[in-house]
Chains A and B, each alone.
Chain A
Amino acid sequence: MIFFSQVLAILWKDIRCELRSRQTWMGMGMFALLVLVIFNFAFDLRADNKAAIAPGALWVAFVFASLLGLGRTIAAERERGSMDRLLLCPVDRKAIYLAKLLGNLLFIGVVELVALPVFAALFNIPLFGAFLPIVLLGTIGIAAIGTLFSAMAAATSARELLLPLLVFPLIVPVVIGAVRATGSLMAPSFNEPPWLGLIAAFDVIFLSASMLMFEFVIEE
């Protein structure tokens, strides 16, 4: 019970700090929209190639925007020293991880909610309800790994460089799965692997491993 009340307290604190500082959400949102607009103008979109290009553009926007936010997850608290104060408290480190993960999911989710209609309008693609599980599972995978590695990168001086280098290789399976699942939603084809199931399996593995490793990453 204390575990969950601590998770909620940390989450509440992160949301409140972000709402007041508006440092992360605005940047992430603007970045995602810019990427979608640039891709829209960069590619010669036709009816026959839209299903091949649009999913990639969407997930590139999501991944890069997510990394902007993920980079600040722990780094901001490390820079200010307030992470030390949090670590002084008798809080299960898994509770800190879970709270940070939920915060990231929320921040990325809001950006996705803003970006998806823009994507649909720019690429002239109707939004299906089936998008939701793909976006949700893909985002969980990115956030699970990103939260863990943001704690690792925050302890270094080259965190902005290190975080993408650590995160990109590991989220490749999730991103490929999400792109292909989104593509097959736009242009259904036969003999496609169960992409959604694969993303879900990766999520479970990454979540479990990250929960277990976070304690060793966050503490000196």
Chain B
Amino acid sequence: MISPYLEITGLKKSYGLKPVLRGVNLTLEAGQRMALLGANGAGKTTLLRILAGLTKPGAGKVRIGRLDLAHDAQQARLQVGFVSHTPYLYEELTALENLIFFGRMYAITAVKERAQFMLERVGLAKKANERANALSRGQAQRLSLARALLHSPRLLLLDEPDSGLDEAGIVLLEELLDEHLGCGGTTLFTTHNLERAAHMSDCIALLSRGRVVYTQASSVLEAGSMSEVYRKYLEAVP
């Protein structure tokens, strides 16, 4: 039996006395794309931060590939690319300098060429020498996407990656995810756009009050039934 690429077991997290994740169990096969849906405060961002190694869980286990995140965090980080709804760039550095810096953090060889390639790929080649604080919100988000893909991660974690992107940006995002999938990459993303979630994923998971309450293959869900499912399951949770 082939073990899943991403395996989350009994994941719990509290901030102070407030539980945010109450035992999340989720698996993702290699090459799968999962949309993680849920209302604000459901725990989506916390879950992604734990998977990225930015937040330590209170209990539970995360396996990425064959790596246990608790014990092989550094190795696991090499496999993960993360995009959040806010780009968080070094504003005083240019777009190219930002990518070169992060490329060095991942010890990428021929880092300048790779950074230039990624800038071109996300349509920012002409903005290479502009400082990040001079970029528009959408351009900064594109740069953030380029940064996440710079080291060719096997697992892509995207927290509302469509934030700030215009239509062309959304198309680019879909292309990049397709390319990532083509390379055998696995993707877990959150969004509040249900149509986009169905369109861009192989399966969806609904997170409510810190628990996964529903998982289903996107192909099974009929067009337009997403919002019905979303409402039904989120309202059903006490």
A positions within 8 Å CB-CB of B? 2, 5-6, 9, 12-13, 16-17, 20-21, 80-82, 84-92, 219-220
Q: Is the CB of A89 within 8 A of B105?
A: yes
Min Cβ gap B140→A in Å is 12
CA distance A158 to B118 in the complex (A): 39
Q: How many A-B residue contacts, CB cutoff 8 Å?
A: 63
Residue B39 interfacial (CB < 8 Å): no
Interface residues on B, range: 20 to 34
Q: Is the CB of A82 within 8 A of B89?
A: yes
Q: Is the CB of A219 within 8 A of B77?
A: no
Residue B88 contacts which of A6, A84, A89, A219 (CB distance < 8 angstroms)?
A84
- 1/0 per residue, CB under 8 A from A, across B82-104: the answer is 10101011111100010001101
Q: Is the CB of A89 within 8 A of B90?
A: no
Q: Is the CB of B105 within 8 A of A220?
A: no
- 1/0 per residue, CB under 8 A from A, across B130-168: the answer is 010000000000000001000000000000000000000
CA distance A118 to B53 in the complex (A): 48
Residue A16 contacts which of B56, B92, B147 (CB distance < 8 angstroms)?
B92
Q: Is the CB of B93 within 8 A of A13?
A: yes
Known contacts: A9-B101, A89-B106. The answer to whether A82 contacts B55 by CB under 8 A is no
Query: Which B residue's beta carbon lies closest to that of A17?
Result: B92
Q: Is the CB of A88 within 8 A of B90?
A: no
CA distance A13 to B105 in the complex (A): 11
Q: Is the CB of B93 within 8 A of A220?
A: no
Known contacts: A20-B92, A81-B86, A82-B88. The answer to whether A88 contacts B97 by CB under 8 A is no
Q: Is the CB of A90 within 8 A of B78?
A: yes
Question: 30 A–B contact pairs at CB < 8 A?
Answer: A2-B107, A5-B104, A5-B107, A6-B107, A9-B104, A12-B101, A13-B97, A13-B101, A16-B92, A17-B93, A80-B91, A81-B86, A85-B147, A86-B105, A87-B53, A88-B52, A88-B53, A88-B54, A88-B77, A88-B80, A88-B82, A89-B102, A89-B105, A89-B106, A90-B74, A90-B75, A91-B105, A92-B74, A220-B54, A220-B56
CA distance A87 to B77 in the complex (A): 9
Q: Is the CB of A81 within 8 A of B88?
A: yes
Chain B residues near A82: list those with CB within 8 A. 88-90
CA distance A5 to B106 in the complex (A): 11
Query: Which B residue's beta carbon lies closest to that of A80?
Result: B88
Min Cβ gap A144→B in Å is 23
Q: Is the CB of B102 within 8 A of A85?
A: yes
CA distance A154 to B23 in the complex (A): 30
Query: Which A residue's beta carbon lies closest to that of B78?
Result: A90
Chain B residues near A89: list those with CB within 8 A. 77, 102, 105-106
Chain A residues near B53: list those with CB within 8 A. 87-88
Q: Is the CB of B106 within 8 A of A90?
A: yes
CA distance A20 to B78 in the complex (A): 30
Contacts A17-B93, A90-B74 aside, 16 further interface pairs with beta carbons under 8 A come to: A2-B107, A13-B101, A16-B92, A17-B90, A20-B92, A20-B131, A80-B88, A82-B89, A82-B90, A87-B54, A88-B82, A89-B102, A89-B106, A90-B106, A92-B74, A220-B55
Chain B residues near A88: list those with CB within 8 A. 52-54, 77, 80, 82
CA distance A16 to B93 in the complex (A): 8
Min Cβ gap A72→B in Å is 13
CA distance A179 to B116 in the complex (A): 52
